[in-house]
Each structure stands twice: as structure tokens, then as C-alpha cells.
Amino acid sequence: MIWKVKKEDKLLVLVDSEMNKNDVQKLIEEINRITEHCSEITVMNCTEFQASDHEISIDVILLFASQAIPTSKCLKILKHEGVLVLHKSLKREEKDKIRDVFANDILQLGINGFVINDIQHSNSPSISTIKELLGYDSNNDICKIVAKKPFYETGSKMTISLPKLKTNIWKVDDVIEDDLINEDSLLDEEDEMKPIKPTSTVCDIADKKKRKACKDCTCGLSRELNDAVEMKNEPSSCGNCYLGDAFRCGSCPYLGTPAFKPGEKVLLLNNQVTTE
């Protein structure tokens, strides 16, 4: 397993809190051997790292801890395009489904702002000492997930080109305003004309006091007058017939007719009572 570490890089190694000092020292020596003596190596356990307050100064973080490490804090202390290398024990029968086995780790790295750069596994004899120090099964491989810090800062903006969306051929087009019916065109000039109030018939104008049909009457007044039935002036037994129904007896011939003046001639014209 070869880490892409330059001699001038600042290296941070994170291990489990339970790892004893002797094993930590051996791990540093092994890392120095593989990286050809990096200029500055800092080793911290999980508890120390979470309580520390680092500035942006680290080039590479080698994470060997099985305990949960806040990857957001790793992102914060890494320089731009710095690298976080996550190491996991991998069973040999799971080599073909690495992304499924470590799906949660990959997801958490992506959520916290890292870009997954590479995923490798190895069982090289050169790392047998590291597996032994970490307590890994000697028959297992070591999976290396390489995540990179983007060159941009949190909150920075950049334009992205999105592919053009294909139009849905089954979607009904939106109604265009040109296809709407103009409300003003629904009415023509005749509809907008003010209705003319019908004038009185010629027969009514001829004599308003006395209803008389014209010679060539077409309004129906002639038929109405011809069908009129004259009622006889029946003698009143009570003398109150002209006052109205409230004063008439049960056998009064004027029941149902309006009140009239004494001496008036009462005519029944198509169930309409008129007085002359």
C-alpha cells in the first residue's frame, strides 16, 4: 500500500484511543518506512482529536481508527485539495462489492464535503505489520478509501451546466392566450341595443275611459268585449253589497267582486270585474 505523500507534506495519523503507546510508535516507524520519512508526522487518538483545535495546516490524514471520527472536522483542518485516507478491514469474499460494504462511510464522506477520489484494497506483505498493529485479521485485506477536499471553500458558488430536459410528448400544452375566446365577440350590436318598451295598443289609445275595439282590431280587445257577460243588477238584500266581500252575505251575487259605488253597473269580462 503506497500513500501519495510528499516529504514536505504535514501528515496526521488518527488511531483508536485503546491503542497502546508501543504499538503507536511501531505504527509511526512503519509509516515512515513506507512514505520514505515524511517531514512532519502527528499521531493522535480519537479522544485527543475531538478535543483539539487545529488550524488549516494538514496535507494528508491517515485514518486507522475504528471509532467514529467527525469527518467534517477532518475537512476543516485539511488544506485545499488535501487528502483523507480511510482504512478498513475487508474480507476477501467481499472484494467485489466494496462500495456496498462501505456504503455508509462513502455516504458520510460525501455529505461532509469530500470528493471520493479512489477505492482500493490490498493484502501486500509490506502492510502485514500495520494489519497486526491494528488488530486486523491476517487473512483480510485492507481497504483504502481516498477522499479529497475540494479546492473551493464552504459557501462558495460556481455555475454548473445542466442537461436540457426532454419535453414530455404526453404532456398537454399550456393554454395560450391567443386561443381564448374574446368575451366582447360573444355579443353583437343587436344584443347590446336597449330594449324598446312596447307602446300601448291603438285600441287603448282610442278611448281610455271607455274600452272600445277598433274596426280592424288585432290586439284581442274585440274578442274580449264580444265574450263579455253582463251581470244583472241584482237587488241587494242587505244593502251592503257595494262595500265589498267583508260586508256581503253568503248568497250575495257580488261575492268575489271588488267594492263599487252604489248605482254603478257591474260587468264580468273573462272573470275580470270592471265597473262603468
Q: Which residues contact 213 (CB under 8 A, 6 or more apart)?
A: 203, 221, 222, 225
Calculate the alpha carbon distances from 241 to 54, 153, 171, 177, 262 in Å. Answer: 120, 110, 83, 74, 9
d(CA 89, CA 109): 18
DSSP state of 32: H
Euclidean distance between CA atoms 40 and 186, whole angstroms: 88
Instruction: Determine if residue 249 is labeled as part of a ligand binding site.
Output: yes
Residue 219 is labelled as binding a ligand:
yes
Is residue 258 left, alpha or beta, with left meaning phi > 0 and alpha meaning psi from -120 to 50? beta
Check whether 46 is labelled as a binding-site residue: no
Of 27, 31, 134, 143, residue with least CA distance to 85: 143
Beta-strand ranges (E) seen in 123-236 are 141-148, 229-230
214 is in an annotated binding site: yes
C-alpha grid cell, residue 51? 478535543
Q: Annotation-wise, does 143 bind a ligand? A: no
Q: Is 252 annotated as a binding residue?
A: yes
Q: Is 74 assigned to a binding site?
A: no
Please check if 241 is assigned to a binding site: yes
Phi and psi at residue 79, in whole multiples of 5°? -70, 170
- Annotated binding site for [2Fe-2S] cluster, which residues? 203, 214, 217, 219
- Annotated binding site for [4Fe-4S] cluster, which residues? 238, 241, 249, 252
- Annotated binding site, which residues? 203, 214, 217, 219, 238, 241, 249, 252
